[in-house]
């Protein structure tokens, strides 16, 4: 359904306010590597991050690192599916069962569950995500549901707590094209 990825450069702008993300996604031996820089503003708070995500060939996150321009950093590794360790190697039990990650300051992370998992039209899947808010680099577990509206193209995204819903449009590689109210692709 999705086209294979060799190397892709993508840029997104937030739907409101100033900001820009510049991302490079590359196929590497045994998986994929994402490197990105993002600047933006939410609720009057400005932010700037550099982040890196390493994934296996099945789009499962093996590790990530987020560096904030203000000196904060978050690094986590996943030695096996659904298990997370912090930078010191301590097991983060509260994140058990989280396979994918979701960072509030980027729409790229919406690619992970739809690329990693196959969907038929109308099929819904619920995921437990390792979720990171832009204003505090602390990982928490968060429930999300994706329902396939058009295979390889459009999904309904819902927070399982009922607090947010949006229809997300993806390109042929599984990268977000349009995330109404949040992000749109500019390159």
Taking only the tens place, the pLDDT of each residue in 155-181 is 999 999 999 999 999 999 999 999 999
Band (pLDDT 50/70/90 cuts) for residue 1 is confident
Which residues touch 179 (CB under 8 Å, ≥6 apart)?
Answer: 15, 107, 110, 166, 168, 169
What does the DSSP 8-state code read for residue 91?
B
> Is 2 within a domain?
no
Q: What is the pLDDT of residue 94?
A: 98
> Is 79 within a domain?
yes
> Is 124 within a domain?
yes
> Is 170 within a domain?
yes
Domain count across the chain: 1
Here the tokens at position 120 are: 């038929």
Residue 39's domain comprises 7-185
> Is 1 within a domain?
no
Band (pLDDT 50/70/90 cuts) for residue 42 is confident
> Is 98 within a domain?
yes
Candidates 10, 23, 134, 31; CA nearest to 74 is: 134
CB hemisphere CA count around 142 (13 angstroms): 19
Q: pLDDT over 90 for what percent of the chain?
A: 93
What is the value of pTM for the model shown?
0.96
Taking only the tens place, the pLDDT of each residue in 100-127 is 999 999 999 999 999 999 999 999 999 9
> Is 14 within a domain?
yes
- The burial class, CB within 10 Å (0-12 / 13-18 / 19+), for 7 is exposed
Instruction: Tell me the pLDDT of the chain averaged across its residues.
Output: 96
Band (pLDDT 50/70/90 cuts) for residue 60 is very high
């Amino acid at each position: 359904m999705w086209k294979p990825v060799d190397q892709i450069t993508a840029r997104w702008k937030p739907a409101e306010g100033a900001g820009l993300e510049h991302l490079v996604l590359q196929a590497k031996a045994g998986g994929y590597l994402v490197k990105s820089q993002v600047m933006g503003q939410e609720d009057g708070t400005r932010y700037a991050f550099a982040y890196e995500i390493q994934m296996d060939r099945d789009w499962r996150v093996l590790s990530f690192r987020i560096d904030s321009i203000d000196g904060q950093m978050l690094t986590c590794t996943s030695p096996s599916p659904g298990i997370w360790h912090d930078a010191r190697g301590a097991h983060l039990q509260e994140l058990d069962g989280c396979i994918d990650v979701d960072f509030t300051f980027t729409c790229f992370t919406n690619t992970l569950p739809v690329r990693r998992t196959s969907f038929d039209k109308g099929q819904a899947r619920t995921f437990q995500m390792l979720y990171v808010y832009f204003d505090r680099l602390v990982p928490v577990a968060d429930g999300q549901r994706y329902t396939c509206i058009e295979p390889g193209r459009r999904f309904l995204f819902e927070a399982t707590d009922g607090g947010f819903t949006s229809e997300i449009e993806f390109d042929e590689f599984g990268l977000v094209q349009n995330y109404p109210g949040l992000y749109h692709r500019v390159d």
